[in-house]
Amino acid sequence: MKIDLNRNTNISLSKQIYQSIADRISSGLLEKGSRLPSVRSLSKALNVSMVTVSKAYSKLADDHIISTIQGKGTYVQTEKAMNHNDHNTDSTSLNWQLSIPDHLPRAQFWWQNISLTTKSQIWLSAASVHSSLLPEHLISRHISSFILKNPGILSEYGPVQGDLEFRSAIADYLISSGNSIFKNEIIITNGSQQAINLVARTFIGAGDIVVMEAPTYTAAIDVFRWQGATILSVPVDKDGMRIDLLLRLCDTYTPKLIYTIPTYHNPTGTVMSMQRRKELIEIAKDFNCFIVEDDPWREISFEKNPLPALKSMDTDGHVIYIKGFSKFLSPGCRIGTLAASGTILNRLIAAKSNSDLGSPLLTQKALLPFVQLDFMKKHLKSMNHILYNRRNLILKLLKKHMPEAVEWSSPMGGPNIWLTLPSWLSAESLVFEAQNNNIAFLTGSTCYSSEPEFNHIRLSFSSLDQEQLENGIITLSKIVFSFIDKKNAENSPII
Amino acid sequence: MKIDLNRNTNISLSKQIYQSIADRISSGLLEKGSRLPSVRSLSKALNVSMVTVSKAYSKLADDHIISTIQGKGTYVQTEKAMNHNDHNTDSTSLNWQLSIPDHLPRAQFWWQNISLTTKSQIWLSAASVHSSLLPEHLISRHISSFILKNPGILSEYGPVQGDLEFRSAIADYLISSGNSIFKNEIIITNGSQQAINLVARTFIGAGDIVVMEAPTYTAAIDVFRWQGATILSVPVDKDGMRIDLLLRLCDTYTPKLIYTIPTYHNPTGTVMSMQRRKELIEIAKDFNCFIVEDDPWREISFEKNPLPALKSMDTDGHVIYIKGFSKFLSPGCRIGTLAASGTILNRLIAAKSNSDLGSPLLTQKALLPFVQLDFMKKHLKSMNHILYNRRNLILKLLKKHMPEAVEWSSPMGGPNIWLTLPSWLSAESLVFEAQNNNIAFLTGSTCYSSEPEFNHIRLSFSSLDQEQLENGIITLSKIVFSFIDKKNAENSPII
């Protein structure tokens, strides 16, 4: 087990060890029953005192994550079992693999998706748009005729940076929303997930400081942790990232990169105010750091003009802009884009080459006609009309059925509602009951890189029809009610 | 500039610094004229003595890679200029980016492809099969009708691990050549390049020891360097990797991973003997390490039965098997596969999820009918018939036109001929003249992770037609002749 420790933060080493082991276990990367290294050997491997490791192990034991059997060793205790793969893992000839350390500290998003998709039918967890609202028939007809005329694209490696025609169309599309982006400043990626990876892998190494919002997108935490980053969190309020707290943090630590979802933030749905956008750019200038602006939700908007992207306000190459096309066009094509200015661009293209030599031309050509502004305007108008009604429906349902003690956001864009339960009620405790009722939601705690809040739920309304939404929210409300009633009964005096 | 130093090898620190800086420059990642850190600041950053850095800088200066201007600093001196991207990089407001360190030490394959594809028309450098020999028309007709019937695949994220039906077909195909691989032991990747990345990123970190053949596949060196691996090289002879030397090396250093292309090795075309295959598996068992078997050329075979894959001889989960489908089906689909047994599989799937959430279903479904054994047999028979003739033609042309002092391999599979020039003649010195004659070839030195041999050329015959091959080899032979004649003239006594 390889744990990257950062000795230059005020996060204690024992806490870093705790977090790293807890992450691996909650990602399913350390399986139930697997043995942890002894305190002595881990302290030696990490070059820290035995007291430090002991402290981390004690807290893990207190939290019922591991347990120590006297004289036998320390073992993972989580109830989560690896049940999604039926290959033989218990063959003893393969046991040597267990001792091979890896450099994959966390894969929470992966684990979450496995756990959520196995059992449920009402996916309040899926922040994707229902296929009936996506232009799959138009795209398929286009592909069908395009590929007959252009079979040659199957036999060539496309440009590493992406198809020039497609980059050009994307640049035009991004320019139309006020960005100044040239086609040669764009890299086509396998979804925005790969774009985040390219940036992280090029610029972030062990101990580099990355600032993320708390909460934020789970899979982005996975990536930055993978690179060994020290992640510092800045909370989000109704106007987005708390820039005042970010600034205070920058006084002590110089971040190399700030990852943000300023527009219809995932998971809370908030929008960073114009004032804070300006301040954030100033901070990036003052501290010579990058801002990674992840902007997948701008198109799913219920207001006339979403605030301009940070990228459009950036004159000095601080903002690396990431847009996925999965949410509003085609998740199946796995197309994302990364836009950056300056000399860093070549380093990112080289990283793309090292990663996979370039994305397939087929999926790029498939989306080409659909990133044109005219099509997009018409498509988004009709899609958003329906999604707006769904959003209003879920808000109405929540108001009607949820207990009073529960609060939620009313987002002006994006597919997510952020629910806040009473502080004593953990979302995790509802999961079992919800799954028994075929409902999946995202527990908010997975959206924090550290010190999670446990009383949040992310509900996505974009992939469900009216009936599923109604069934889902009514049932979920009943479950929440039952927990609150139980607590009230416990607290009420016995007459 | 972030340089990973390994203090546990017998490669001196100054040599490691030299190699790291030379790699960045030859990959175009440090541009001509950019300033290197001072000896004092680099020695401080790397925690090594100033003498060590000085030594590295001196050797770089001796090799005309950098130069020091008294009182001004040390600068990159290479003649290679970044000319492939026309974005503005000289805007002073972007200059702050130059001081941002990255973690991308090398991207030789990328650089090579940029340099080779800009000028030439006869690509003796392209180890890919000419489109007329690939089934692009069949695949395009299949896609065209499939997507009309199944537009839904455009609106769904496929399984992270890959489409089940496709994995099943690939398993059947691999089983037919003697491997015992289950469909749930397969991960679909974006070409074999991403497969190599997944393995490296999951298991290799700074200082881990990776053994590679010398020479080997350039882009694989790029990947392992990226992870900070310490790469040790084992030479290849006519029977493949020198296992005797590997064993001697293992006595001192324990490798974590051995990367090999045992069948029609890239770039030399040799085949690892059965005896050595067995010994290699034994070594992996003895030292608890992984073998990454990269097997992209098996299908391009001019003999009846290529030797079985290492994977088919592995009982204990040591071999991670990688096969790309670019070389004989469709480079444009960017489909590769990785097969592994045991508990490491889940870690690799998690890594795939972290990387890009999964490959597009469209390109997987596109190739589905074509990985069936019946189709493949027929297709490979006709393709290999033509490639065999091309291979015989290039051998004939070389024999007829090349000077006697030049030697070359006669591969029984794969698209590459490995040319050995007289030891005093560097392939690099021929590049300029060749490019002026519109010929591109691969300089052998890029295939070495360290201590390159400069007198090799890799010639690929698979992407060229008869006329191009004839023109290419005749012209290249003339160029080689002219250099040899010049040398002879210099050496001959003046009468």
Q: Which domains does chain A have, with CATH numbers?
A: 13-105 (1.10.10.10), 111-133+376-490 (3.90.1150.10), 137-373 (3.40.640.10)
At A12 the pLDDT is: 85
CB A307 within 8 A of CB A155: no
How distant is the Cα of A333 from the closest Cα of chain B, in angstroms?
5
- CA contacts within 13 A on the Cβ side of B421: 25
How many residues are recorded in chain A?
495
**Is the backbone of residue A73 left (phi > 0), alpha (psi -120 to 50) or beta?**
left
Flag the least confident range among A1-5, B348-352, B367-371, B459-463.
A1-5
3-class SS of residue B18? helix
Percent of chain B with pLDDT over 70: 96
CB B122 within 8 A of CB B464: yes
CB within 8 Å: A107 and B219: no
Respond yes or no on whether the N-terminal peptide bond of residue B215 is cis (omega within 30° of 0): yes
Spatial separation of the C-alpha atoms in residues A183 and A165, rounded to whole Å = 9
Q: What are phi and psi of B36, to 5 degrees?
A: -90, 155
CB within 8 Å: A219 and B354: yes
3-class SS of residue B490? helix
Regarding predicted confidence, which is higher, A251 or B199?
Answer: B199
CB-based burial label for B370 (10 Å; 0-12, 13-18, 19+): buried
The token duo for B113 is: 């492809």
How distant is the Cα of A178 from the closest Cα of chain B, in angstroms?
19
CB B226 within 8 A of CB B178: no
Determine which helix (DSSP H) or strand (DSSP E) holds A291, and give its type and residue range.
Answer: strand A290-294
Spatial separation of the C-alpha atoms in residues B315 and B92, rounded to whole Å = 59
Q: pLDDT for B321-373, tens place per residue?
A: 999 999 999 999 999 999 999 989 999 999 999 999 999 999 999 999 999 99
Respond yes or no on whether the N-terminal peptide bond of residue B262 is cis (omega within 30° of 0): no
Q: How confident is the model at residue B495 (pLDDT cuts 50, 70, 90)?
A: low
Q: pLDDT for B175-232, tens place per residue?
A: 998 888 888 999 999 999 999 999 999 999 998 999 999 999 999 999 999 999 999 9
CB within 8 Å: B203 and A359: no
CB within 8 Å: A28 and B346: yes
Regarding predicted confidence, which is higher, A291 or A15?
Answer: A291
Mean pLDDT of B86-108: 75
CB within 8 Å: B87 and A28: no
Q: Which stretches of A161-300 are DSSP H helices? A: 164-176, 191-203, 218-226, 243-252, 274-286
DSSP assignment string, A222-258: HHHHHTT-EEEEEEEETTEE-HHHHHHHHHH---SEE
Give which of A34, A31, A45 is closest to A17, Cα–Cα: A45
Spatial separation of the C-alpha atoms in residues A395 and A410, rounded to whole Å = 7
User: For residue A267, which amino acid is it?
Assistant: P
Spatial separation of the C-alpha atoms in residues A233 and B160, rounded to whole Å = 28
Q: How confident is the model at residue A82 (pLDDT cuts 50, 70, 90)?
A: very low
In the sheet with B73-76, reading across from the earlier edge strand, the strands are B35-36, B73-76, B66-69
Query: Which of B151, B193, B360 minimises the CB distance to A137?
Result: B151
Residues of chain B contacting A344 with CB distance shorter than 8 Å: 97, 100
Residue A297 has pLDDT above 80, yes or no: yes
Query: Which of B193, B355, B366 minimises the CB distance to A197?
Result: B355
Query: Which of A82, A110, A204 minimises the CB distance to B103?
Result: A204
At B80 the pLDDT is: 42
How distant is the Cα of B480 from the closest Cα of chain A, in angstroms?
31
Regarding predicted confidence, which is higher, A422 or A34?
Answer: A422
CB within 8 Å: B102 and A226: no
Query: In Å, what is the CA distance from B276 to each residue of B241, B245, B284?
Result: 8, 12, 12
Residues of chain A contacting B342 with CB distance shorter than 8 Å: 87, 89, 91, 94, 97
DSSP assignment string, B433-483: HHHHTTEE-EEGGGG-SSS--SSEEEEE-TT--HHHHHHHHHHHHHHHHHH
Residue B468 has pLDDT above 90, yes or no: yes
Which one of B128, B203, B343 makes the best mutation probe of the A interface by having the most chain A beta carbons within 10 Å?
B343
At A119 the pLDDT is: 56
Residues of chain B contacting A333 with CB distance shorter than 8 Å: 154, 360, 362
Residue B90 has pLDDT above 80, yes or no: no
In the DSSP assignment, the letter for residue B157 is P
Q: pLDDT for A301-350, tens place per residue?
A: 999 999 999 999 999 999 999 999 999 999 999 999 999 999 899 999 99
Q: pLDDT for A187-212, tens place per residue?
A: 999 999 999 999 999 999 998 999 99
At A91 the pLDDT is: 60
Residues of chain B contacting A345 with CB distance shorter than 8 Å: 85, 87
- CA contacts within 13 A on the Cβ side of A136: 23
Spatial separation of the C-alpha atoms in residues B167 and B163, rounded to whole Å = 6
Counted across chains A and B, CB pairs separated by less than 8 A come out at 315
CB within 8 Å: A343 and B144: no
Respond yes or no on whether the N-terminal peptide bond of residue A296 is cis (omega within 30° of 0): no
Q: How confident is the model at residue B118 (pLDDT cuts 50, 70, 90)?
A: low
Give which of A221, A28, A22, A31 is closest to A113, Cα–Cα: A28
Spatial separation of the C-alpha atoms in residues A58 and A56, rounded to whole Å = 5
What residues have CB less than 8 Å from B161, skipping those under 6 apart?
B167, B184, B186, B187, B188, B349, B352, B358
How distant is the Cα of A404 from the closest Cα of chain B, in angstroms?
36
Percent of chain B with pLDDT over 90: 70
Residues of chain A contacting B112 with CB distance shorter than 8 Å: none
How many residues are recorded in chain B?
495
Residue B91 has pLDDT above 80, yes or no: no
Degrees, nearest 5: CA angle A221-A225-A230: 105
Mean pLDDT of A356-380: 97
The helix-helix angle for A373-401 and A466-491 (nearest 10°) equals: 30
Query: Which of B160, B332, B341 minimises the CB distance to A155?
Result: B332
Residues of chain B contacting A29 with CB distance shorter than 8 Å: 346-347, 350
3-class SS of residue A75? strand
Q: What is the dihedral of CA A52, A54, A55, A59, to 10 degrees?
A: 140
The mean of the pLDDT values for chain A is: 91
How distant is the Cα of B180 from the closest Cα of chain A, in angstroms?
13
Q: What are phi and psi of B417, to 5 degrees?
A: -115, 135
Residue B116 has pLDDT above 70, yes or no: no
CB within 8 Å: A333 and B360: yes
Q: What are phi and psi of B320, to 5 degrees?
A: -100, 120
At A492 the pLDDT is: 78
Q: How confident is the model at residue A120 (pLDDT cuts 50, 70, 90)?
A: low
Query: Which of B110, B219, B344 minimises the CB distance to A97?
Result: B344
End-to-end CA distance of chain A: 55
How distant is the Cα of A194 from the closest Cα of chain B, in angstroms?
5
Flag the least confident range among A136-140, B205-209, B292-296.
B205-209
In the sheet with A209-214, reading across from the earlier edge strand, the strands are A186-190, A335-339, A319-324, A290-294, A257-260, A209-214, A230-237, A240-241
Regarding predicted confidence, which is higher, B105 or A159?
Answer: A159
Give which of B7, B28, B26 is closest to B85, Cα–Cα: B28
As for the ipTM of the complex, it is 0.88
CB within 8 Å: A141 and B158: no
CB within 8 Å: A113 and B160: yes
Q: pLDDT for A388-435, tens place per residue?
A: 999 999 999 999 999 999 999 999 999 999 999 999 999 999 999 998
In the sheet with B416-420, reading across from the earlier edge strand, the strands are B407-408, B416-420, B456-460, B442-443
The token duo for A380 is: 């988004």
CB within 8 Å: A110 and B203: no
CB within 8 Å: A155 and B136: yes
**Is the backbone of residue B84 left (phi > 0), alpha (psi -120 to 50) or beta?**
alpha
User: For residue A100, which amino acid is it?
Assistant: I
Residue B364, number of CB atoms within 10 A of its CB: 24
The token duo for A176 is: 């139309």
Query: Which of A89, A93, A204 minimises the CB distance to B343?
Result: A89
Give which of A3, A139, A377, A39 is closest to B361, Cα–Cα: A139
How distant is the Cα of A495 from the closest Cα of chain B, in angstroms?
54
Spatial separation of the C-alpha atoms in residues A85 and B133, rounded to whole Å = 38
Mean pLDDT of A236-257: 95
User: For residue A285, which amino acid is it?
Assistant: K
Query: Which of A140, A222, A343 minimises the CB distance to B151?
Result: A140
The residues pairing with B36 across neighbouring beta strands, listed in sequence order, are B74
**Cα torsion angle, A340, A342, A346, A351, sign:** negative
Query: Which of B29, B341, B366 minimises the CB distance to A347?
Result: B29
Q: Which residue has the tokens 């007198």?
A: B455
